[in-house]
Amino acid sequence: MPDVKTPIQTGKPVKTKSPIREWFDSILFAVVAATLIRWLFMEAFTIPTPSMERSLMVGDFLFVSKFHYGTRTPKTPLQVPLTHQKIWGTEIPSYLDWIQLPQFRLPGFSSVKNGDVVVFNYPPEDQYPTDLKTNYIKRCIGIGGDVVEVRHRQAFVNGKAFEVPPKSQLTYFIETNRTDLDDAFFRQYEIINDYPNQTYNWQPIEQADSVSKTNKIIGYKINTTAEVIDQFKAMDWVKKITPYDEEPAPTPSAFSPIYGAAQYNWTVDNFGPLTVPKEGATIQINEKTISLYGPVIKKFEGNENVEVTDKAISIGGKPITSYTFKQDYYFMMGDNRHNSLDSRFWGFVPADHIVGKAVFIWMSIDPNPATATGKIRWNRLFNVVR
């Protein structure tokens, strides 16, 4: 056997790393490990808006699973690690779009199901590559092939009533003579206004008084759960509680004008029926299908040189009479049904925009605490997202 000697046995000095090199190696290892974990397994997100209240609250911090649906391979590789669109605390882009790779999804152990709370990239956002579009979170109402409809606030899927999430909110009007209801009162029932973001879950409704020639409070408009409404119904100062007047029709958008409902007379409370595109499903091209699916064919199917008019679609300069979808799509809605910008406004979520499944809340911070000690919502920590 060869005689192998260590550096000490040969008398050679052992090289040691400098403190700076040790710090650099440790930081590099931490960044690489965190990047891999964030890409492959789990990523932390925070809830910035009230569209999912009260299932998810503004200030909730979530872990979102990437391995449920399978993680996506990077589309934009030239990016500062652990960033999304901007370098932390600046307006400097954190990426270069010089290289855009084909995107694939690794195998997962589940697929997106009706009722899942899903994080996805916001489809209408054209200024960013797919994997760097703003992250949204909503509940999946319809998957590819489903027929989605909203009738008088109730969502239906394939003709059956969609199970109402227990903490979902709707808008109600409480008729009462009381004029002293304030933040402290409504906070008892987790009806909280976020004044910095101009989000109002409660507000007084006034009416002109012909006698006094002034406006007086005749009741309160509130966003809350059915459970809280049942509590209010038992209070002797409440005259009447009714669902608030139907919300106005969604605003037309550049993404999909048909959801402005000029042709269909749809609103956020009465919407559809609308079939969600499914991979392999074929539609005939006509004025109705163009208005519903034309933007999808143009923006998300990877087709080149697509022209869409009110009456025809052409791909590569050739008019088409039918079209077969290349991927699945999903219809998403917020649980706070009257305070959510979702698929009723801008359309479907393509499968390649799906980021992951919301799993559990690991921290919850009240952005408008009633007291200095009430900053952390202890009762929400480590709750499973349902």
Task: Name the active-site residue from 51, 168, 340, 343.
Answer: 51
The conformation of residue 339, written as its DSSP 8-state character, comes to S
Any idea which residue has 């209240």 for tokens? 53
CA dist., res. 7 & res. 12, Å (int): 5
**DSSP letters spanning 179-211:** ----HHHHHTTT---BGGGTB-SEEEEEEEETT
**DSSP letters spanning 235-275:** -TT--EEEEPPPPPPPPP-SS-GGGG-TTT---SSSEEEEE
CA dist., res. 79 & res. 93, Å (int): 9
Q: Nearest to residue 51, comparing CAs of 215, 268, 327?
A: 268
Is residue 309 packed enough to be buried (19+ CB in 10 Å), middle (13-18) or exposed (0-12)? exposed
Element (H, E) at 291: helix 287-299
Task: Name the active-site residue from 133, 138, 167, 299.
Answer: 138
Q: Are strands 271-275 and 147-151 parallel, antiparallel or unpaired?
A: antiparallel
Residue 138 designated active-site: yes
What burial letters (b/e) apply to 355-370, b meaning 16+ CB within 10 Å? bbbbeebeebebebee
Residue 51 designated active-site: yes
Q: Nearest to residue 131, comparing CAs of 88, 66, 72, 69?
A: 72
Say if CB 347 and CB 274 are below 8 A apart: no
Close Cβ partners of 370 (under 8 Å, ≥ 6 residues apart): 183, 184, 187
Element (H, E) at 233: helix 226-233
Active site residues: 51, 138
